[in-house]
Amino acid sequence: MKLIEAGVLDIAYIEKGPVDGVPAILLHGFPYDIHAFDIVADRLATVGMRCIIPYLRGYGPTRFRSPETPRSGEQAALGADLLALIDALDIRQAVLGGYDWGGRAASIVAALWPERVRGLVSCGTGYNIQNIASAGIPAEPEDELRYWYQYYFHTERGRMALTQKRRELCRFIWKLWSPNWAFDDATFEASAAAFDNPDFVDIVIHSYRHRYGGIPGDPAVAAIEARLAAQPMITVPAIVLQGGGDAVDPPRERDRDAPHFSGPYQRRILPGIGHNLPQEAPEEFAEAVASLR
């Protein structure tokens, strides 16, 4: 485990592979952690890539440097954290790979700072930049059902559940979102330890309330949020991986993400794979990342 000062955080991360290899930054989602990339990073290291796998804000040993910094989980903050990490590590360009919150951070940096990105691998929603201005428009009923946890976290009852029944709730989400993934207790507990971060609850609650415009963001990243409101194009080479068995973000017959990409673009659907795609299909994820080096 390493620790580096990056922006408002001391970011904890692990590193695998040769220090002079093409950098790949791999970013986990909610409610997961860096163990999602254990096999992926080993595979990429064997082909000479330098893998950096950070804990996002609110997870594991990553900590805020100041008690005064807002515990924001908004998209602009995640993007700012990733850019700060790239700068702190003095990386000129990296392949970015992520899913869920991590895919959002990767998509934001790819869209706003493409000169720092060799390629993007994004899972589930490939264009993972929130359109907060339209967040109040009702989705199809089946989509609304899948988002139950987001509405739950808008309530104090949801906050209390995340505080008092954290492991039970997160384990249930794992099972619900990846119905075909037969993970064991040890696999879940290895990741669940990351949820004991003292800022985990505040950041999760802020993330889901902010994305619907229900709570203010951090003024320090307001300029980034304003740029994201324009729904910027992603111009770097990109591969979108979607799990055919993803129960929260299932692939649709029509590719709605493609119009947001102007560079080389592929969409690949992996039958039977759920939401935690890097951990469920590590070979396919690693191959996609390696193809963009």
Q: What is the pLDDT of residues 197-255, one digit of tens each?
A: 999 999 999 999 999 999 999 999 999 999 999 999 999 999 999 999 999 999 999 99
pLDDT of residue 38: 98
Where residue 73 falls among pLDDT bands split at 50, 70, 90?
Answer: very high
Domain that holds residue 41: 2-290
Rounded CA-CA distance 111/131 in Å is: 14
Q: What's the whole-number average pLDDT of the chain?
A: 98
Rounded CA-CA distance 22/290 in Å is: 9
Q: What is the mean pLDDT of residues 150-177?
A: 98
Rounded CA-CA distance 269/282 in Å is: 14
Give the closest residue to 76 by CA, choosing from 118, 113, 32: 113
pLDDT of residue 84: 98
Q: What is the pLDDT of residues 98-157, one digit of tens each?
A: 999 999 999 999 999 999 999 999 999 999 999 999 999 999 999 999 999 999 999 999
pLDDT of residue 261: 98
Amino acid letter for position 93: Q
The CATH number of whichever domain residue 241 belongs to comes to 3.40.50.1820
Q: What is the mean pLDDT of residues 188-200?
A: 98
pLDDT of residue 2: 98
pLDDT of residue 179: 98
Number of structural domains in the chain: 1
